Chains A and B, each alone.
Chain A
């Protein structure tokens, strides 16, 4: 009973509201999370492309420097001189130029002028020492003809740039650049006749270059660079780059499986999300692009990528998620309140009807029914009102009938006086109370004298009229609390309660006898009847109703014998 319709309805409505807002919130969150990841991926892609174009710009700047050096008259002059009779002045001037360039370009490891003759013997060479540019000369100059940056660059036309593979520099004597990730960019030195006399080569520090290029990126962005085969060249974890140099290849397509499409040259870019392998702790979103190398190079393509922790991306989603959660909670609360209100609105009239019904069954006046409503509940209330009205009417009719029947059962139909049964009942009660209270009562037998001749002569209608009038006169002659009854054709009894003594009873009996003896008006001549009255009193005239009746009856007969129209009181023996 605790969970009535109201509670259940409220629960159902609230549940529907909560589920609806929860599901909506969840989908909104998911959709916006996906959108956020999508947008950060495309942001990453844009950044990666920007980075790629910065690489091109950086390379072009090196090309311009190479152009400056390879076109410098001193370069040709130095190469024109034989190795054993060098043009020292030209070489020195060139060396100063190299040193100046090294000073302003901290990412240059080495700048060299290498001759085509003497197996690619270096002619002017400036290395990066521990701090400052370091001129290398004399016996320390090396033959580099067997390196691709020499034999490949020698094949180029003037002002064309060669780019070597990105590798760890193992050339002994390379000073600061030794053992470091390096790329060589070269340009041929061509004389007026179009003969290639040598090359100018700049070794660049790949770490430095990529550190510089990625300087503007957010701190948690990670930069990746791989060659066309997928070998990592730049990796946030330096131990993962140039694995091939240590005999163990470490490939981008192993760490980021979807970049296999780039390595296979199937697609120019991939956007990905990785949460497995080394990224299982810190999932990332990443963008990778495949950038063809447009100049002469052994590196056909480079694969460049940027990664961002998924957590950074989702921080925004989490903020959004919080707002969504708050909204959902708000809606849920509203749903609960509305559900309660609706449930109450629906069940209040039902409750008031059930109250009315309770009052109705209890017989109390019915409390107000919601009959004024124009809805189903109003109709129900009105029907219920009509029904209860009908029941009430029929009940009261029934009650009345019952009263009538009861009256009929206990009263004489002619005179309206109590009949024998009712009288016996009252007599019993009066006796009981008299015994208990030690009071007196009197029983009076009244018999009309010569009634039969009147009935025979004047007819039953007059007889009945007479009996009726006698009944009325007896009733008028006694107190309200006394009882008169008709117990036979012309016999009446009267019970007098709470009398002081027999004289009282006698006085009443006398009064009754006299009132009966008055003329009675009829259609014909007035009638004068008399009555013989016998009286017995309690306790003197009998201790129970039978004895009392017997004695009253005897007294009444004695009155008849004494000449009628008389009152006789029963005298106990010995008085």
Chain B
């Protein structure tokens, strides 16, 4: 009964847009990341609305940027983008504001996602440009047998007790943010000129404390299990927890008190959309239970309507990724640190 009513309400919502469109079959063109719009999820939307949905997938931020910038024939009605990347789309005037009131399922979202103002980059001059959809935070994974009590700070990565038993991520942008967090910076994405040296020192100290740095989730799991590691900086979040549990490791997962770096993917509507109302209907639909479950059970990604399965919700805050002050410099310095250069050599011109 409730189901029927909901469907009816949905139909009422989108009816004007269908009627308003031409007599030909209405098509919604979605540009998303793998796992964001699985065939069965799309089918349910099509069955309900009678529109045709064409989903294209991207595999990198660059690819996404290129396609949204593409000429008129390759238009999209709605696309998924993380909050950090979203900023340049707004700057380049490639996206249009979203009518947040039309997304009625926002009421189902957790409060931290409902309050759009609290998430940096979503609201500009009072206008909402994106609706949160899925996220992954970079918490700490620890071996329950070796690490007691559970770590509550990223400082654990530098803890000499775990020397040679720490596995960290091989990436400059995130690692400098991590160092900035350790140094107590409010905004880890914006280092001041005098912060660099300290951050480099911290990262060299991290290098000297770790067993190894990884780039791929599976690689981290192999290192962790083969070498009896104690701590793992989870750049891929709960996905790595799942993999480790599958490998038989007895691990815990925490959001440190400094806050976990997190990426947040949102739905945004490009300027070139041909059917903004239908795009909003799609966004509204993806906030329902089924699409949300698909994200968490199939992809190991968190959805915005349910508290994270690992019970980390509320333990610490999430620090949404933002564009950094100088990504090139971070990566350049990190390259040197990763190669094993000593302090003077890292900071050398």
Instruction: Collect the chain A residues with CB atoms within 8 Å of residue B59's CB.
Output: 247-248
Q: CA A298 – CA B207 in complex, angstroms?
A: 21
Q: Is B207 in contact with A143, judged by CB distance below 8 angstroms? A: yes
Whether A146 is near chain B, meaning CB under 8 Å from some CB there, is: yes
Query: Which stretch (A165-173, A344-352, A555-563) binds chain B?
Result: A165-173
A140 surroundings in chain B (CB, below 8 A): 345
Contacts of B340 in A (CB 8 A): 119-122, 142-147, 171
Determine if A360 is an interface residue (Cβ-Cβ < 8 Å): no
The docked-state distance in angstroms from the alpha carbon of A113 to that of B81 is 47
Distance in angstroms from B220 CB to nearest chain A CB is: 13
Chain A 379-413, CB within 8 Å of chain B: the 1/0 string?
00000000000000000000000000000000000
Q: In this assembly, does B147 line the interface, its C-beta being within 8 Å of a C-beta of chain A?
A: no
Contact with B along A154-181 (1 / 0, CB 8 A): 0000000000000000111110000000
Q: A139-B345, A148-B212 are in contact. List 6 more A-B contacts (CB 8 A).
A: A142-B345, A143-B340, A146-B211, A173-B336, A174-B339, A247-B59
Q: Report the tally of A-B residue pairs with Cβ distances under 8 A.
A: 57
Q: Is B164 in contact with A173, judged by CB distance below 8 angstroms? A: no
The residue from B211, B213, B341 contacting A173, defined by CB atoms under 8 A apart: B341
A256 at the interface (CB under 8 A from B): no
Q: CB within 8 Å of A: which of B198-255?
A: 207-208, 210-213, 216, 222, 227
- Cβ B335 vs Cβ A170 within 8 A: yes
Inter-chain CA distance A151–B342, complex, in Å, is: 19
- Chain B residues whose C-beta falls within 8 Å of the C-beta of A244 in the assembled complex: 216
B115 at the interface (CB under 8 A from A): no
Main secondary structure of the interface of A (DSSP, over half): loop
Cβ-defined contact, B212 with A146, below 8 A: yes
CA distance A248 to B59 in the complex (A): 9
Pairs of residues from A and B, 6 with the lowest C-beta to C-beta distance, nearest first = A142-B340, A172-B339, A143-B340, A171-B339, A119-B208, A172-B335
Q: Which of B222, B227, B341, B344 contacts A142 (CB 8 A)?
A: B341
B336 touches A172 (CB 8 A): yes
Please give, as numbers and ranges, the residues of chain A lying within 8 Å of B336 by CB-CB distance: 172-173
Range of interface residues on chain A? 20 to 34
Measured in the bound complex, the distance between the Cα atoms of B60 and A248 in whole Å is 10
- Name the one of A122, A146, A172, A174 contacting B210, with C-beta atoms under 8 angstroms: A146
Q: How far is the CB of A165 from chain B (nearest CB, A)?
A: 9
Residue B338 CB within 8 A of the other chain: yes
Among B211, B342, B344, the most chain A Cβ lie within 10 Å of the Cβ of: B342
What is the bound-complex CA distance between A207 and B136, given in angstroms? 39
A174 to B335, CA, bound (A): 12
Chain B's nearest CB lies how many Å from the CB of A106? 24
Determine whether the beta carbon of B339 is less than 8 Å from that of A173: yes
B349 CB, nearest partner CB in chain A, Å: 14
Cβ of B63 to closest chain A Cβ, rounded Å: 10
Would B335 and A146 count as touching, CB distance under 8 A? no
Residues of chain A contacted by B164 (CB below 8 angstroms)? 151
Q: How large is the interface on B (under 10, 10 to 19, 20 to 34, 35 or more residues)?
A: 20 to 34
Report the bound CA distance from A121 to B345 in whole Å. Answer: 14
Contact partners of A171 in chain B: CB under 8 A: 338-340
Chain A: which residue is nearest B164 at the CB level? A151
Residue from B208, B216, B227, B344 within 8 A of A143 (CB atoms): B208
Would you call B212 and A147 a contact (CB within 8 A)? yes
The answer to whether B338 and A143 have CB atoms under 8 Å apart is no
Q: How far is the CA of A142 from the CA of B208 in the complex (A)?
A: 12
B50, chain A: closest CB distance, angstroms: 37
CB < 8 Å neighbour of B339 from A121, A142, A148, A248 = A142
Determine if B211 and A151 form an interchain contact, defined as CB atoms under 8 angstroms apart.
yes
- Can you identify 15 A-B contacts, CB atoms within 8 angstroms? A119-B340, A139-B344, A142-B340, A142-B342, A143-B207, A143-B208, A143-B340, A143-B341, A145-B340, A146-B210, A170-B338, A172-B335, A172-B338, A244-B216, A248-B59
Closest chain B residue, CB of each to CB of A248 = B59
Q: Which residue of chain A has its CB nearest to the CB of B345? A: A139
Q: Give CA–CA (A121, B340) in the complex, Å.
A: 8
Cα–Cα, bound, A172→B337 (Å) = 9
Q: Which residues of A have CB within 8 Å of B211?
A: 146, 151
A295 to chain B, nearest CB (A): 16
Query: Within the complex, which residue of A144, A146, A298 is in contact with B213, where a contact is CB–CB below 8 Å?
Result: A146
Contact B212 A143 (CB under 8 A): no
Mark each residue of chain A from 245 to 261: 1 if its CB lies under 8 Å from any CB of chain B, else 0: 00110000000000000
Residues of B within 8 A of A174 (CB): 339
B182 CB to closest chain A CB, in angstroms?
Answer: 18
The closest CB in chain B to the CB of A229 belongs to B218
Nearest CB of chain B from residue A117's CB, rounded to whole Å: 12
Is the CB–CB distance between B208 and A145 below 8 Å? yes
Q: State the Cβ distance, A518 to closest chain B Cβ, in Å.
A: 140
Q: How far apart sit A244 and B214, CA to CA, in the bound complex (Å)?
A: 13
Report A245 CB to chain B, min CB distance, Å.
9
- B341: which A residues are within 8 A, CB to CB? 142-143, 172-173
- For the complex, give the distance between the alpha carbons of A147 and B213 in Å: 8
Chain B stretch 94-149: residues in CB contact (< 8 A) with chain A: none
Report the separation of the CA atoms of residues A148 and B229 in the bound assembly, to the nearest whole angstrom.
14
In the complex the two chains form, is B342's CB within 8 Å of A139's CB?
A: yes
**C-alpha gap A120/B164 in the complex (Å):** 12
Q: What per-residue 1/0 map shows which CB atoms of B5-27 lie under 8 Å from chain A?
A: 00000000000000000000000
